[in-house]
Amino acid sequence: MIQIRDLCHTFSIGKRGKEKRVPVLKNVSLEIEKGQIVSIVGKSGSGKSTLLHVLAGFMKPESGSIQVANQETALLSESEHAAFRLNHFGFIFQNFQLMPGLTAFENIELPLKLKGVPKKERQINVEALVKKVGITQVADHYPNELSGGQQQRVSIARALVTNSPIILADEPTGSLDSETEQEILLLIQSLNESLGLTFVIITHDDEVANIAHRKYRLHDGALVNGGVLHVV
Amino acid sequence: MSFRDQIDFIRQHMKKNKLRVFMTVLAATMGCAFLIVLASVGFGLHKTMTDEMMSNQLLTEVRIFGREDGDSQITTADQQKMSELENVKAVVSRSYVDGVTSISMNDRTGQGDVQLTNLKEEEKANLALSEGEMPTKPNEIVIGYHFAQKLLTEAETELASQSEDEIPTGYTESMIGKTISLELTPLTEEKSDPKVWDFVVTGVAKEPAKDWMMDLRVLIDESYRTEFQEFTQPEVPAEESYFEVYVYADDIQHVGAITDTLKNDGYNVYSITEEMETMDLFFTALKAGLLFVGTIAVLISSIGIFNTMTISVTERTREIGVMKAIGANPKLIQRLFLIESTWIGVLGTIIAVTLSYGISYLANWIIPEIVMNIVAEEGMEDISVTISLIPWQLVAIASFISIGVAMISGWRPARKATKIDVIQALRQEL
């Protein structure tokens, strides 16, 4: 599903003319199979978020190749990447990243609007998802009227609504209490099992990482032991 | 994203910032309304001047004063050639009697503007009658609308000379079928006896368009020209007598072409189109100047739109980042902001156009009243003054400028929105 080969990326830090180049990804190579939950763990500054950003196309890697669903994405233009994201990726963010001016229902509906899906179809899809993630009672609430767990459920529903095969999750339980964290992790697992979705989870929390089928650890931009740390 | 969804999205955002959007629309409205109202004064004054010129003179008339070389007179053959020109409806030659004229009818006498003319051509040239019909015989004539009012009895003449306030009514009954006598006295150093000709009135000309105009014409068939001249100036050959020629076009749009042809043929020509061309040029320059000044106001208001859109982009950085992250095309983001600034421009323009029509109506109602009260001259009430006029062309130009400027104002903020870095945007605190 996803093949990353020799991925390198460097940040320039400091004033212009006196920049210091800091390597954040060093020859990272990994493979993620369809229907797997894969976690990438590491300490702060280990490069795990950068890896996710490069994989999502938020930034271009310095070198290396990324293949998603047999398509080389590292060379796509910004517009092409946007279209690719819309069709292949769903996102779950630590801070939920919901639109404050839209209700839970409208937030979930947004990617479908971007895709140009007709209103009736949108309504059916979103209603089904609202039920699936368990937020029927609060679908017409605005994000600031929802709890953290409810907001993350909305965020998950938004990631699922376009039927994207890959869900990229950046610290999905980072802002939640332990009880809600468990609920969300169970939801992710059940979605993985029922829909066969591929999850790539970036986390520093071992408990979260442990739900994965495969676990990679990044240290100073490089994969520890050059690859898979743990296979369930 | 469908266009409808885009509009819904923008509307939702505008609702959230009602006050700011209202103030921006207000600025756009004021700029556009200023542009329209300012330029409308140019259009209004142009209309007033044109109407005034058109009401004082027949637009299709081309006057010929003679030949450019100044020597040769216009002959009957020349007139024949003129009448054969394309789009010429009538050619009328008018001359005045050389001598002292006095007109009488029974016990009444009066002075008239005696003109010798071709009445058939006059009819073709739109000589309209208020009463009676056009003459069919040489001794039949048409008189001006006010001529009968100047036919006074001796008592009325004396009364009028004694008091300026007393205005005699003259002959008030119908003149049709009445016989009037024209007494003609030659202008010679030696005293000579007058001669009298009798004419039957068959028609009375229509009332002039303006109240202050007095039509005292006595239109006599031109066949009398030779007879009159032989009596008043026997030493001058009849064919050398001076007369003016009027050529009438069948439509106003042909006046220019006829004027040019006659000029090329060596005639001294005057037509209202020439004067109007000069006037049009002046007013076109004036209107362009006013539009330019008005556009500056629109540009000033565009700063407001630019500001609003820039703030909007800054405020929504995180939202834009999220949209880009979940797959919104940068072009869509740009379009959303451009539509928003255009919508502000459109809204401002619609309100401005409505407002401008209101202001224009008030200006045309109040300002002439004030001016008339200040000037307060007799006859002024007859002049229709248009201070402000908003033709559809002005609305189109102003809308184009206003909406165009709004779009340009939104362009840079919209571009800025597309450049927002997703990672930076997602890191922003709520």
Please tell me the distance from the alpha carbon of residue A139 to that of residue A159, in angstroms, as a whole number: 16
Q: pLDDT band at residue B72, thresholds of 50, 70 and 90?
A: low
Burial pattern A111-148, b for ≥16 Cβ within 10 A else e, equals: bbbbeebeeeebeebbeebbebbebeebbebbbeebeb
Percent of chain B whose predicted confidence (pLDDT) is above 70: 92
Q: What integer best gives the mean pLDDT of chain B?
A: 83
Question: Which of B389, B381, B398 has the alpha carbon at shortest distance from B46?
Answer: B389
Per DSSP, the three-state class of A38 is strand
Percent of chain A whose predicted confidence (pLDDT) is above 90: 3
Domain ranges for chain B, please list them: 3-55+278-427, 94-241
Q: Do B322 and A99 touch (CB under 8 A)?
A: yes
Nearest to A114 among B12, B328, B423 (CB): B328
Q: Which two tokens stand for residue A61?
A: 């890697």
Q: pLDDT band at residue B184, thresholds of 50, 70 and 90?
A: confident
- H/E/C letters for each residue in A39-108? EEEECCCCCHHHHHHHHHCCCCCCEEEEEECCEECCCCCHHHHHHHHHHHEEEECCCCCCCCCCCHHHHH
Q: pLDDT band at residue B237, thresholds of 50, 70 and 90?
A: low
Mean pLDDT of B31-44: 90
Q: Do A87 and B325 touch (CB under 8 A)?
A: no
Summarize chain A as % helix, strand, coil (round to 5).
Answer: 40, 30, 30
Whether B245 shows a pLDDT value over 80: the answer reads yes
Whether B351 shows a pLDDT value over 90: the answer reads yes
CATH of the domain at A8: 3.40.50.300
Partners of A11 in the β-ladder:
A22
pLDDT for position B368: 82
Summarize chain B as % helix, strand, coil (round to 5).
Answer: 55, 15, 25
Question: Which of B221, B229, B227, B225 has the alpha carbon at shortest distance from B200?
Answer: B221
Whether A229 shows a pLDDT value over 60: the answer reads no
Question: Which of B16, B79, B27 has the alpha carbon at shortest distance from B222?
Answer: B79
Would you say the C-alpha torsion A123, A129, A131, A133 has a positive or negative sign? negative
Neighbours of B196 (CB within 10 A): 10
Question: Which residues, at least 6 apart from A69, have a Cβ–Cβ distance to it below 8 Å?
Answer: A1, A88, A165
For β-strands B140-143 and B129-132, DSSP reports them as unpaired
Q: pLDDT band at residue B210, thresholds of 50, 70 and 90?
A: low
Partners of B90 in the β-ladder:
B248
Q: What integer best gives the mean pLDDT of chain A?
A: 84
pLDDT for position B347: 92
A162: nearest CA in chain B? B326
pLDDT for position B379: 55
Radius of gyration of chain A (CA): 18
pLDDT for position B242: 56
Residue to mutate among A110, A158, A166, with most B CBs inside 10 A, is A110
Identify the DSSP state of B75: P
Length of chain A: 232
Q: pLDDT band at residue A224, thresholds of 50, 70 and 90?
A: confident
Q: Do A58 and B422 touch (CB under 8 A)?
A: yes
> What domain count does chain A have?
1
Please tell me the distance from the alpha carbon of residue B183 to that of residue B199, in angstroms, as a whole number: 11
Q: Do B5 and A113 touch (CB under 8 A)?
A: yes
Q: Do A113 and B2 touch (CB under 8 A)?
A: yes
pLDDT for position B376: 66
Range of the domain at A207: 2-231
Neighbours of A65 (CB within 10 A): 15
ipTM metric: 0.88
Q: Which of residues 300-319 of B touch A (CB under 8 A)?
A: 318-319
Mean pLDDT of B344-367: 91
pLDDT for position A227: 55
pLDDT for position B5: 83
Radius of gyration of chain B (CA): 35
Q: How many helices and strands in chain B, by DSSP H and E?
A: 12, 12
pLDDT for position B419: 85
Question: Which residues, at least 6 apart from A124, have a Cβ–Cβ distance to it below 8 Å?
Answer: none
Neighbours of B194 (CB within 10 A): 14
Question: Which of B145, B125, B128, B143 has the alpha carbon at shortest distance from B59?
Answer: B125
Q: Do B327 and A99 touch (CB under 8 A)?
A: no
Nearest to B324 among A82, A99, A115 (CB): A82
Mean pLDDT of A25-31: 85
A81: nearest CA in chain B? B327
CA-based max dimension of chain A: 56
Q: Do A78 and B422 touch (CB under 8 A)?
A: no
Please tell me the distance from the alpha carbon of residue B220 to that of residue B263, in angstroms, as a whole number: 29
A157-177 per-position pLDDT tens digit: 888 888 888 889 888 887 777
Question: Which of B114, B50, B53, B60 has the alpha carbon at shortest distance from B87?
Answer: B60
Enumerate chain A positions whose Cβ falls within 8 A of a Cβ in B.
53, 56, 58-59, 78-79, 82-83, 85-87, 89, 91, 93, 95, 97-102, 110-111, 113-116, 158, 162
Q: Do A79 and B330 touch (CB under 8 A)?
A: yes
| Secondary element (H or E) of residue B323 | helix B317-325
Mean pLDDT of B202-226: 84
DSSP B125-177: TT--EEEE----STTEEEE-TTGGGG-B-HHHHHHHHH-SS-------S--TT
pLDDT for position B395: 92
User: For residue A101, which residues of chain B lie inside 8 Å, CB to CB?
Assistant: 12-13, 16, 319
pLDDT for position B70: 67
Q: pLDDT band at residue A230, thresholds of 50, 70 and 90?
A: low
Please tell me the distance from the alpha carbon of residue B28 to that of residue B351, in angstroms, as a whole number: 9
Q: Do A114 and B9 touch (CB under 8 A)?
A: no
Residue to mutate among A99, A109, A167, with most B CBs inside 10 A, is A99
Would you say the C-alpha torsion B54, B58, B59, B65 has a positive or negative sign? negative
B7: nearest CA in chain A? A113
| Residue located via tokens 């050619």 | B91
Per DSSP, the three-state class of B429 is coil
Mean pLDDT of A115-130: 88
A179-205 per-position pLDDT tens digit: 778 888 888 888 888 888 888 988 888
